[in-house]
Amino acid sequence: MNQISELQMDFIEFLVSCKVLKFGDFTTKSGRKTPYFVNTGMVQTGAQLECFASFYAQSIATHFGSDFDFIFGPAYKGIPLAAAISTSLAREHGIDRGYCFDRKEVKDHGEGGSLVGYQPKDGDKVLIVEDVTTAGTSIRETVPKLRAAADIELAGLMISVDRRERGTDSRAALDQLSDEFDMPCVAIVQVHQVMEYLHGREIEGKVHIDDEIRDRMVAYLAEHGPKDHAV
């Protein structure tokens, strides 16, 4: 099995219990037929959001420490995520940092601008948080907005699940973003770890990945994963 930590095992079980991770027949935004789907919109209660953010905060503290000045969450799913993660970081890890998010449309009255919350300053390091990244489109839209606001540095990107699918070339999307923006891109868990941990394992009275689903996931990743991928 791909090496997996206790935090990652707990996170996988949390995602299954909240129905964020589903297995069956789905169609992605890009039109691909996929046997698994990640929908963080299923995190719908205060307790679930608190738990979700706590997993992020633990992973951020492990991978990034306190080496950033603020957290940025792209609209829309990134908005509650950034707020909740910053709260968890301050409460659980003593890392009190700013957080901000963007508007889809620039406000031309009141305080104006496209960013809400912490206002970036020259030299600030920003940690971007997202739910999942498939092709990296939102990051390529996000970085110019941040750089237009101030001369910021990119501390990194933190997401929940790395689907390990190709981006716009032969590399995995997350690896491509890391190279393109010269920043670490980290996922709490990768799909291969999800697949191997859940295969044949009963969670809340149900086996979510049986042999058939696993075989379909392996075939899907072989087709759509990075060219150097091997399961």
CA 199 to chain centre: 22
In the residue annotation, 224 being an active-site residue is answered as no
With contact defined as beta carbons under 8 Å apart, do 129 and 56 qualify? yes
With contact defined as beta carbons under 8 Å apart, do 40 and 20 qualify? yes
With contact defined as beta carbons under 8 Å apart, do 194 and 217 qualify? no
Annotated catalytic residue within 19, 33, 107, 121: 107
Neighbouring C-beta atoms of residue 170, cutoff 10 Å: 13
Annotated catalytic residue within 29, 109, 206, 227: 109
d(C-alpha 35, C-alpha 220), whole Å: 8
In the residue annotation, 109 being an active-site residue is answered as yes
d(C-alpha 60, C-alpha 47), whole Å: 20
d(C-alpha 5, C-alpha 171), whole Å: 25
- Say whether 210 sits in a helix, a strand or coil: coil
Write out the H or E segment, with its range, that includes residue 26. strand 21-27
| Contacts (Cβ under 8 Å, ≥6 apart) of 166 | 172, 173, 224, 225, 226, 227
d(C-alpha 227, C-alpha 224), whole Å: 8
Among 130, 126, 128, 106, which residue's Cα sits nearest to residue 116? 106
The catalytic residue positions are 107, 109
